[in-house]
Structure 1
Amino acid sequence: MEKRSEKKAVFISFLFSLVFCKLLNINAEELTIVEKQLHVPPLSELQNVFREELSKNFAKVTVEIVESPDLTQEPFYLSATGLGGSPILLDVGGTTLYNTQFDKQKLFDLKTIVEKLSRPVGSCALGAANGPWIYLGADCDVAVNIDLNKPESSTSSYIISLDKTVGKLLCKKLPLNETRFSVQGSIFLSEGKKGEVIKVVAENRIGEDSFIASMRRSITNYYGAKNLVGLGGVFVLRKGKISEVFPNLLEEPVPAGSNLTRVPLFYLDEGSAEETGVGTFVSERTELELTPNHFHCFSTHLDCGHYGRDTTPAIAIYEGYFSTAEFLMRVDQASEDPRLIGLDHF
């Protein structure tokens, strides 16, 4: 009886997805794409930039130029071994496209976007985006982690949703052919080749900025908009706990008996090490209305969510690997919800 109910649920989900795909007609011809060449500083220069700024925010910091480890292995679990080869950033949509009626949120398809780009790009994608509500039938986020050319790949993106009944963010692997997302996406594309990257280890947060906000502030202060710099990559929370964020724009109360907490516009859950975070950050918002920094986390123990900051600063340890992008593709530009501007997790 239980198996029959499960099959029925899968069938209903399939029909729901099929009907809405026809109604929404995700069409490559309707996408507007602006291409911008990015400033690519020498890694030795970035090494100094990151070290100087991060040292203001963490008690112990090491920044090195290293050969990328195999990022398909534990604890990273990425779709490719490295971050090299034709690296570009995709900044898609914007948070003003968010709607509290989730089925009114604009949908995108990563495969469709890649097919329309004006230059050859790699197929290995990682990053953070609002999720494919059409798949889940609910508001959600997605941690993008997929090789678009390898449907047999053993890795998968993770869909992140909120169960208000148990008061917990839920993490679930997506099917390998599910490449849709909604509203806004910050995605790093490459050929997934091994090569030199920036390795950052930061311990014991002593300042206000989160790890990623501190990384972004490093390049904002040094390069700004005049020399626009963008990076993508992965970090692992080696020790400690982090807050993970989910939209609550209606400012609804925390469900009774829930472990969630609440701040303006968001619910907060807490995740424990080790967690993997994937995403991008840029040195300035610019006239393209870019998302300054955006990372989503996942883990084998199924803690997950939009990265906020560590909640145990005295013991927090981060280890990250990052690579610069050569080009930025701004897809279907939309502005950011003014209520979110200035938050250190966007």
Structure 2
Amino acid sequence: MSVTTHPRETPDLTELATVIQTSLQSNFTHATAIVAQCPDLRQPPFNLAAPGLSGNAKVADIGGQPNLFPQPNMEAKYSMLSIAKDMQMSSRKGFLIGAGAAPWQDIGHNAELAPNFSWTSESQNWNLEDPGSLQLQNNTHVTEVKEDGSSACHSLASTNCALMMNLYGSEGISGPVIKITARARTGEGNFTNVIRDGLRAHYGEDKPISLGGVFLLKSGKAKFHVMPDFPRPEDLPFRDRKQLENEWIRYYLFEAPVVCLTVFHSADPENLGLRMEHTHCFETEGARKGGHYHYDVDGGQEVEYEAYLHPASTLYRIDPPY
């Protein structure tokens, strides 16, 4: 697979927090962004596979939406452990979270994936032929459409994915992060895109910032989508994107609490065809809520977010579908 490496701007965390807070205050009645020591994200309500977001932070964009439209590219199957190697992550210790398509090759159908796993190993070299050489903590979740049209969210032991994936990788250690709180939305933008817009306005198109991390929908309600299984061969290809978005994808409104894993960028100056924002979510109780985050609803007055984000110093573009 093609792998290219691209440096990203990593301003001082205090500077980033100031930019983010200013942007959010234009869209929420109450918003703060500060530099804080990351809490232990392994604990509820986040339930991540590592305590923090720090340590050689980087992001990757793998595959892409053209692998789905106009018809699924069934050859676009990936191992996220192999991707970790492509991201020049250490085999000794690492942590990946993000958003993408579930490994249909493992579960037998298409679905949404929220990867969330960490590993340790005594080996200094990747041994992908022997997955048992890694000690895995896998808290990954998949959200799927059931036959009756309802959604189901459950854990998944696989470390594979398909079609498209956006990942934030680090050593998973505790350290300083940007802690964000926001409630009572007054503007039109969603939580992640308001942050993106503020970063782009401040740093411009030529100084791209890439961030990853986790946020909690603490209260309120938000819109999500879940991809169902692939259409029958006779129903492909999709006529157009409108058919894919309006007739095939399933939409749901879920109430808080929901945990959301996110990767996003302020700009794409190299024209890499990046997915500029990708957020997938899950709940650890109830086995229903999950999928791709769109935006909060009901006017935003009841909504409240809590986020922990960290910038990445390097972006890897892997297997672009063009």
Query: Which of the five TM-score ranges fits, normalised by the shorter chain?
Result: 0.7 to 0.9
Say which structure, 1 or 2, has more relative contact order (CA 8 Å, 6+ apart): 2
8 Å Cα contact 2:96/2:167 also seen in 1: yes
Tell me whether 1:196 sits opposite 2:176 in the alignment.
yes
Aligned-partner residue type, residue 306 of structure 2: E
Distance apart, 1:161 and its partner CA: 1.1
Cα distance in 2, alignment partners of residues 152 and 304 from structure 1:
27
2:276 equivalent in structure 1: 292
Q: Secondary structure at the match of 1:238?
A: strand
| Closer, same or farther: CA 86–138 of 1 in aligned 2, 3 Å | same
2:101 equivalent in structure 1: 130
Q: Secondary structure at the match of 1:46?
A: helix
Q: Secondary structure at the match of 1:53?
A: helix
Q: Secondary structure at the match of 2:120?
A: coil
Q: Secondary structure at the match of 2:204?
A: coil
Distance apart, 1:285 and its partner CA: 2.9
| Closer, same or farther: CA 218–105 of 1 in aligned 2, 3 Å | farther
Tell me whether 1:160 sits opposite 2:143 in the alignment.
yes
Consecutive aligned runs of 4 or more in structure 1 exceeding 6 Å deviation: none
1:219 equivalent in structure 2: 199
- How many residues end up aligned between the 2 structures? 295
- 1:252-290 superposed Cα distances (whole Å, 9 cap, x missing partner): 9xxxxxxxxx84763211112111000211111331111
Cα distance in 2, alignment partners of residues 273 and 38 from structure 1:
33
Cα distance in 2, alignment partners of residues 118 and 72 from structure 1:
24
2:166 equivalent in structure 1: 186
- Greater shift in the superposed pair: 193-202 or 304-313: 304-313
Distance apart, 1:59 and its partner CA: 1.0
Tell me whether 1:268 sits opposite 2:251 in the alignment.
yes
| Closer, same or farther: CA 153–180 of 1 in aligned 2, 3 Å | closer
- Percent of residue pairs identical: 27
8 Å Cα contact 1:103/1:134 also seen in 2: no
Q: Secondary structure at the match of 2:152?
A: strand
| Closer, same or farther: CA 44–133 of 1 in aligned 2, 3 Å | same
TM-score under structure 1 length normalisation:
0.79
Distance apart, 1:105 and its partner CA: 5.5
8 Å Cα contact 1:103/1:133 also seen in 2: no
- Structure 1 unaligned regions, length at least 5: 1-30, 253-261, 336-346
Cα distance in 2, alignment partners of residues 100 and 158 from structure 1:
27
| Closer, same or farther: CA 134–56 of 1 in aligned 2, 3 Å | same
- Greater shift in the superposed pair: 120-129 or 63-72: 120-129
